[in-house]
Amino acid sequence: MSTKRRAGIAGVGYYVPERVVTNFDLEKTLNTSDEWIQSRTGIRERRIAAPEQAASDLGLIAAQRALADAGMAADQLDMVIVATASPDMVFPATACIIQDKIGAVNAGAFDLTAVCAGFPYALTTGAQMIKAGQAERVLVVATEKFSGLLDWNDRSTCVLMGDGAGAVVLTADSPQGEILTSVLGADGSGIDQLCIPAGGSARPASHETIEQGLHFMKMNGPEIYKFGVRIIGEAVEQALTKAGLQEKDMDLLVPHQANIRIIQSAAKRFNLPMEKIVVNIDRYSNTSAASIPIALAEAKEAGRLKPGMIIVLVGFGAGLTWGTVVLRW
């Protein structure tokens, strides 16, 4: 008689750069203010990587901390999956750089791009590899150096983003953090709402693309805001239903840290007190794919993850993409 394989989170870790850039710092170079930024986004400050730090450097530290939390050596890993929209280079994969630096000599490695929804996509992929018997131990890293993708003269985008990395170790025998189910989705008709227009094969780098600033992030803020408010509610409801759970069963919500008003809208929709939602956007801003695992790791660090809790992770971003994962801690 076969036993259904499970996948759980054996360890978590995160890293944010040392440099803190406050809203008051941005006031010195931009036509903006701390009050304007906080009232619209909930952001007070963000972490910015040093010039010599790449996304792999941030992810490396988060990965090492997750492995230490799991009590596992890197050579025990079967796979390294990295979710990032700011890779070190077009190729090879940032996952291969991290795999080499941590010494995961027995693991495969690849990158996955779903931008701010990257972590739910990567977590689901790693869990399914374990459940299918393809792997026993998978390292999932989400790492972003978005500061290198921003026009620091554009106040509509540069005030929103920050740098950081989060990681989890998935195993087939972890007693905690069981992946119950997930819902992943995409709407490619919205690709122009949030993108970096140039730098790929469609619009290779040229004098014109550089002069026009097409290698920086471009966003239709109002449309992305409306999308976020709608899709968080829909994706969480679908995932809970798929897991055979109800809204009242949700003990902790760990949302993508895009905008405090989007998070507050989710709290209202699910009648959740803010104490049941992990929020760190005020300190780190939007770290894209890294925001959910950073928040999850901080929640564990603070003792907020208790055995048996139903925890829901939800993210959304460019693509347009979205993803929700339901865990039982």
Catalytic residues: 116, 256, 286
- The type of residue at 286 is N
CB atoms inside a 10 Å sphere around CB 148: 16
CB atoms inside a 10 Å sphere around CB 313: 26
Tell me the backbone φ, ψ of residue 210, rounded to 5 degrees: -70, -45
Say how far apart CA 83 and CA 114 lie, in whole Å: 7
Cis (ω within 30 of 0) for the bond into 320?
A: yes
Place of tokens 């189910």: 181
CA within 13 Å, CB half, 302 = 11
In angstroms, the Cα distances linking 225 to 11, 220, 269, 324 are: 32, 9, 16, 18
